């Protein structure tokens, strides 16, 4: 049985350029505005990945306006991790960082082992296939945890 949607969730990965923005965008599309959703990375020196934008656009998720940010930038901007009900780490490095930053807070940090598709293939089509696999892994985890997508207008 699916869990209830949290009031707020933060997805995190290494650079906030592929996996965590994909998860943020897909969750917003699937479950509407009932849950406050953000994403962050351990580092933020990259821009949003074009292949991530492309494979998410295929399912109606727009990532073009995503602004990459790190845990440190969140703190600088006054975003308090303790305000999130759940942190979903999509990489081992982000899980370690999230656990370190939240060791004094009462909130859940879970780890979803999501493949990093960047640099896995040579041709454009093979790279897109790798990014689709990552997108589909995220979708599988979302549905396993919170059930099928909510129809628009019912959230």
The pLDDT tens digits of the residues spanning 48-95 come to 999 999 999 999 999 999 999 999 999 888 888 888 999 999 999 999
Within 10 angstroms of residue 81's Cβ, the number of other Cβ atoms is 18
| pTM (two decimals) | 0.93
CA 155, 90, 97: angle at the middle one, nearest 5? 115
d(CA 84, CA 55): 28
Domains and CATH numbers, the chain: 8-146 (3.40.50.2300)
**What are the tens digits of pLDDT across the range 93-112?**
999 999 998 888 888 999 99
**Cα separations in angstroms, 5 against 32, 69, 85, 98, 120:** 11, 24, 10, 20, 33
């Amino acid at each position: 049985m699916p869990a209830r949607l949290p009031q707020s969730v933060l997805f995190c990965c290494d650079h906030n350029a592929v996996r965590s923005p994909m998860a943020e965008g897909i969750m917003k599309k699937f479950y509407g505005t009932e849950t406050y959703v953000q994403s962050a990375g351990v580092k933020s020196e990259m821009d949003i990945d074009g292949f991530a934008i492309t494979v998410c656009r295929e399912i109606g998720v727009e990532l073009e306006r995503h602004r990459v940010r790190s845990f440190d930038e969140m703190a600088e901007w006054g975003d308090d991790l303790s305000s999130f009900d759940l942190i979903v780490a999509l990489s081992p490095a982000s899980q370690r960082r999230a656990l370190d930053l939240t060791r004094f807070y009462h909130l859940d940090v879970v780890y979803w082992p999501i493949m990093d598709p960047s640099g896995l293939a040579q041709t454009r089509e093979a790279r897109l296939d790798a990014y689709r696999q990552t997108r589909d892994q995220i979708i599988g985890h979302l549905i396993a945890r919170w059930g099928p997508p909510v129809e628009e207008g019912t959230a």
